[in-house]
Amino acid sequence: MINSNGSSTRECAGVERLAEANLPTEVGVFRIVAFKSRLDGEEFPVLVKGELDAETPTLVRIHSQCLTGDVFQSLKCDCGKQLEQAMKRIQEEGRGVIVYQQQEGCHSDSKPTFANMSAVLTYSNNWACAGCG
């Protein structure tokens, strides 16, 4: 994160910063930062736009990973559209953060597996993200 004097720190409470790079996207250029939770060891990416400081309100989206919506643009859920809208809004604002949780689905607390996909496909004969429908 960015300290009040403009320097960046490698650690925050509860997480460790692992790596950082510029990420050009169709929406604009973001910084992608990899973090690791000190609590459970989970690694997750965060997209950052602009300079962050404690005194300025910042747009934040916590987005649950959705393979079918985010990557394959499934018509059965709007996860990918929600992520794209958040990125566009943050780009327009000039500052913001997207925390990309490594869990599958809108309301799921499990990681994506082919067994989960198989169960949904068997049930509905259509794939939607877990929790979306």
Tell me the pLDDT tens digit for each residue of 12-52: 678 899 999 999 999 999 999 999 999 888 899 999 999 98
pTM of the full predicted structure? 0.71
- pLDDT band at residue 5 using 50, 70 and 90 as cut-offs: very low
Q: What is the pLDDT of residue 45?
A: 94
Range 11-124: architecture per CATH: 3-Layer(aba) Sandwich (3.40)
- For the chain, the structural domain boundaries read 11-124
End-to-end, the C-alpha distance of the chain in Å comes to 36
